[in-house]
Structure 1
Amino acid sequence: MKLAFNKILKEEIPQILPLIQQLMGNTFSDEILHRRFEEMFSQNYECFGIFFEQKLVGVFGMWFMTRHYAGRSCEPDHIYILEEYRSKGLGKKLFEFIYAYAAEKGCETSELNSYVSNYRSHKFYLNEGYEIKGYHFLKKL
């Protein structure tokens, strides 16, 4: 299996927008998403493409922070793999990469959010050893 996780650079944001749009159900325009990703790149954020046989089949990001309750932590974010590439072991390989990469950056823990209705991801994350610790709240200002 020719699988690679390649860092996406700021100037490559347009390459990942179609996948982000699929993940989010085209909730925001490309312009808004592009602007938000540009700002994210200026923070403690890194973006990666998931390439299978040199074809972009997924995307994910990682946030790095220190939490008082968890120490140095990595938060995988907006993980998306095209439907036709799911259930083929890519997720398992992806998280092996995430854990190794986070450990290289001195992380002690990994935490993430998952949409309430995304039951398949819940099962996957629980099988990966994640524990449900709370709820994620969002308020528009």
Structure 2
Amino acid sequence: MNTIKELKSRNEIAEAFPVVKQLRTHLDERTYLDLVIDAQDNDNYKMFALYENNRITAIVGFKPMITLYYGRFVWVCDLVTDSENRSKGYGEKLLAYVHQWAKDNHYECVALSSGLQRKDAHRFYENKMNYDKISYVFKHPLK
């Protein structure tokens, strides 16, 4: 049996690091903790874990937003399933959870971006979760 739980305490967030690190390989644990806590305190970021037999198997991080383009929507910032547990439906369960959370809180849609190299993830979003590919995301570093 699996359960989904919001991660709020520093210890809960730290427990998720080994799974998140599989997606965000550039982060060390201290930077990760600082960023998650700062985002929770200042940007309404929410992090949920899917537990299977009391072990974290997948993580989703998202934040509710409002823009002129999307209106009221939820932006999925992070979605990762532990490498040992992929293709077992955990990502689908977490993303469905986000969809329901968004509906329950009166948001109009859920959006995300995915790296160009992540072809398997794109198939998952488009074919399994019925997401539309609607734009490119551009980034300009300021350093």
- Please say whether Structure 1 and Structure 2 have the same fold, judged by a TM-score greater than 0.5: yes
Superposition deviation, residue 87 in structure 1: 1.0
The code of the aligned residue for 2:33 comes to: H
Superposed counterparts of 1:1-141, under 5 Å: 2-11=1-10, 12-25=12-25, 27-42=26-41, 43-127=43-127, 128-141=129-142
Q: Report the AA paired with residue 23 of structure 1.
A: L
Runs of 4+ with deviation above 4 angstroms: none
Residues 36-87 of structure 1: per-residue CA shift (max 9 Å, x gap): 1111111121001111122111211111011212221011221111122111
Q: Is the 8 A contact 2:59 2:94 kept in 1?
A: no
Distance 1:10 1:140, change over 3 A: farther
The one-letter code of the counterpart of 1:15 is E
Aligned 8 A contact 2:57 2:90 in 1:
no
Question: Any stretches of 5+ residues in structure 2 without a counterpart?
Answer: none
TM-score, normalisation: structure 2: 0.89
> 100-109 or 12-21, which moves further after superposition?
12-21
Q: Deviations over 1:3-34 (max 9, x none)?
A: 21100004222111222222122x13222121
Contiguous gaps of at least 5 residues in structure 1: none
Contact 2:60/2:94, CA 8 A, preserved across alignment: no
Contact 2:58–2:90 (Cα < 8 Å) also in 1: no
Residues 74 and 102, structure 1, Cα contact 8 Å, conserved in 2: yes
Alpha-carbon distance in structure 1 between the residues aligned to 2:76 and 2:4: 13
The normalised TM-score by structure 1 is: 0.91
**% of aligned pairs identical?**
24
